Amino acid sequence: MTFAAKSVLGASLEDGLGTGVAFQLPEKPFLADTALHVQKVVVSVTGPNIGNAMLTPPFIPQLNEYYGRTAYFRGSAARSDPGGLGIILNVTDEQLTLHTLPFPELISRIFEIHGIKAKPSPAGLLTSRLVAQMGGLQGCRVFKIAGVRSLIKKYAPDRSFERTEALTMIGDADPATHQQRFDAYKRLYIEQRDKPELKPEDAFLYLLKKGVFRAGLKLACPTCQLDFWVTLDDAKSTTECVYCGFAFNVVPQLRDRNWAYRRSGLFGRDDHQRGGIPVAVMLHFSS
Ligand SMILES: [Zn+2]
């Protein structure tokens, strides 16, 4: 016998066991008198994913024991449902607290049923860090822009570029017609904006905000004549040359200097982020 579904508001909680959701059970469509406390009922919960974890895992009854132990502390209490997670409760129970199931562990368990040992690869871990740096898969929309991908590819982490170069690459002008191929993305949503059309500047500013690039200055040493780059944080009126150690006053150079940008953080790795950018774009399309 089944009853109609009801919506309830859950309160999320964080404890030593991870993220969970606590909720009051709705009014029961059956007699729940204390005299009947030995009677059981299955509450089937359907809920959203929370961050990197699931509240209602896929329908795999072989994982009931794992589901019960992880979500409800009792291996025998869970029954995987198509589209929900069933928990066996007493008819008199008034509330339910469920812990979420972390994706990586859940995926390993699914493979384990079929005798396959699975663990995240270094490339996979890097991609998940990359997605996190961008603020989630939706934050990776900016990588749909071909010019953004070319810009990241073109400048190795030890090479800097100026804003105009960045905007030209993101704008992706056709060398023959000078038509900006960026036009294909002018409706792309990357973050809240006041104007209807996206411009290459918006994409560049977004990448700066997300720490894909950082700002600095390219300076020329008066002694050894070599150019070197310092971050905005390290730039001082008297700066030491990284090659010869000579300390010189940079102020006279500032007149004709623009900010020079470099890739930073995870994007400062010289391994193409192990293919993380195309994977993030692909995951975004399929999400
Ligand atoms: Zn020098």
Per-residue model confidence as pLDDT tens digits over 155-164: 988 899 999 9
Instruction: Give 223 Cα–ligand 1 centroid separation in angstroms.
Output: 5
* pLDDT per residue as tens digits for the range 23-39: 999 988 888 788 888 89
CA separation for the pair 235, 252 (Å, rounded): 14
Confidence of residue 55 (pLDDT cuts 50, 70, 90): confident
Instruction: Give 229 Cα–ligand 1 centroid separation in angstroms.
Output: 12
What pLDDT does residue 287 have?
67
Residue among 161, 162, 181, 163 nearest 171 (CA):
181
Instruction: Give 18 Cα–ligand 1 centroid separation in angstroms.
Output: 52
Instruction: Give 19 Cα–ligand 1 centroid separation in angstroms.
Output: 53
**How many other β-carbons are positioned within 10 Å of the β-carbon of residue 195?**
7
Instruction: Give 231 Cα–ligand 1 centroid separation in angstroms.
Output: 17
Give kind and range of the element (H or E) at residue 154: helix 146-154
Share of the chain above pLDDT 90, in %: 61
Instruction: Give 244 Cα–ligand 1 centroid separation in angstroms.
Output: 4
Radius of gyration of the chain (CA): 27
- The length of the chain in residues reads 287
Give kind and range of the element (H or E) at residue 78: strand 78-81
Residue among 100, 103, 12 nearest 56 (CA):
100
Instruction: Give 219 Cα–ligand 1 centroid separation in angstroms.
Output: 10
Where does residue 83 rank: exposed (0-12), middle (13-18), buried (19+ CB within 10 A)? exposed
Q: Which of 46-60, 96-110, 149-163, 230-244 has the lowest mean pLDDT?
A: 46-60
Per the CB < 8 A criterion, the answer to whether 103 and 44 are in contact is: no
What tokens were used for 161?
Answer: 């570029």
Instruction: Give 183 Cα–ligand 1 centroid separation in angstroms.
Output: 44
Residue among 71, 124, 125, 63 nearest 96 (CA):
71
CA separation for the pair 216, 208 (Å, rounded): 12
Instruction: Give 166 Cα–ligand 1 centroid separation in angstroms.
Output: 28
Instruction: Give 213 Cα–ligand 1 centroid separation in angstroms.
Output: 25
CA separation for the pair 140, 191 (Å, rounded): 11
Provide the mean pLDDT of the chain. 90
CA separation for the pair 282, 235 (Å, rounded): 39
Residue among 167, 123, 173, 133 nearest 148 (CA):
167
Instruction: Give 154 Cα–ligand 1 centroid separation in angstroms.
Output: 27
CA–chain centroid gap for 78, Å, is: 30
SS3 track for 207-273: HHHCCCEEEEEEEECCCCCCEEEEECCCCCCEEECCCCCCEEECHHHHCCCCCEEEECHHHHCCCHH
Reply yes or no on whether the pLDDT at 201 is more than 70.
yes
What residues sit around ligand 1, an ion, with C-beta below 5 angstroms? 221, 223-224, 241, 243-244, 246
DSSP per-residue letters across 89-151: EETT--EEEEE-EEHHHHHHHHHHHTT------HHHHHHHHHHHHTTSGGGGGGGGSHHHHHH
Instruction: Give 160 Cα–ligand 1 centroid separation in angstroms.
Output: 18
Q: The pTM is what?
A: 0.73
- List all residues 6 or more positions away from 116 whose beta carbon is below 8 Å from its beta carbon: none
Q: Which residue has the higher pLDDT, 263 or 83?
A: 263
Instruction: Give 51 Cα–ligand 1 centroid separation in angstroms.
Output: 49
